[in-house]
Amino acid sequence: MQLLVSPSNIDEARRSVAADIIDVKKPSEGSLGANFPWVIKEIKSFAQKPVSAAIGDFPYKPGGASLAAYGAACAGADYIKIGLAFDGASRARDMIAAVVKAVKDEFPKKNVVIAAYSDFKRMGTISPYEMAPIAAELGADIAMVDTGIKDNKSTFEFMNESDLASFTVTNTQLGLRTAVAGSLRFEDVAMLKRINPDIIGVRGMVCGGDRNSTIREDLVATALTMIR
């Protein structure tokens, strides 16, 4: 597993450089809130690691999503990540196709990450299980689960170990990598190692349990030690 850490600003990014992937987002704007392009550029300039950029928890707006995805790719992100904050397979198909085309036409080696929410039932959005085959068919690289509502409830409160293991295996069969996030805790690491997704995404874990606090270098190091 690779560790993806989500700093909210440049100072936090400097504390996160030990992670495998530095994920640029703006937690105040949502689960996958987008940060500024100049922040992506500056972090990319010093991180010496792959940089991921969230572009938002998007309603059904394929044009807006594709433009945001292209902007993140141009700003230097190696992984471009979008959350599908709506329901419906046909609409998901439109969104994913637009984002993949926006990135891959010019940056074929960059990674497109499509996120659906583990708490999709309470959000009224597309499920990860329905999203993943569409993402695979349309050329995305990674299927992700995250919590959409940030109220300290973990992904494991909505998808159990068996659910996530099955999701991971199915994604591998589809040719996708898997990312798991959503208020993950240190006590979840043993279970995550059994599930064995390609990437785990954390913020609160390395902020001392509060995603609105500040990332700590020592906790990033602890997380890396635990998942190796």
Residue-wise pLDDT tens digits, 12-51: 999 999 999 999 999 889 999 999 999 999 999 999 999 9
**CATH, residue 67:** 3.20.20.380
Residue tagged 């279970």 (tokens) = 191
Q: Name the pLDDT band for 218 (thresholds 50, 70, 90).
A: very high
Q: Is the pTM of this model over 0.85?
A: yes
Q: Are 196 and 176 in contact (CB under 8 A)?
A: no
Residue 49 tokens read as 């690691």
List the alpha helices (DSSP H) in the chain: 10-15, 37-47, 62-74, 89-104, 120-123, 128-137, 161-174, 189-195, 217-227
**pLDDT exceeds cutoff 80 at 212:** no
* Rounded CA separation 172/211 (Å): 30
Report the domain count for the chain.
Answer: 1
**pLDDT exceeds cutoff 80 at 156:** yes
Q: What is the mean pLDDT of residues 54-67?
A: 98
Q: Which of 49, 81, 104, 110 is catalytic?
A: 81
Q: Which of 25, 44, 104, 110 is catalytic?
A: 25
Element (H, E) at 56: strand 51-58
pLDDT score for 137: 98
- Residue 97 domain boundaries: 2-227
* Rounded CA separation 182/31 (Å): 9
81 is catalytic: yes
**pLDDT exceeds cutoff 90 at 86:** yes
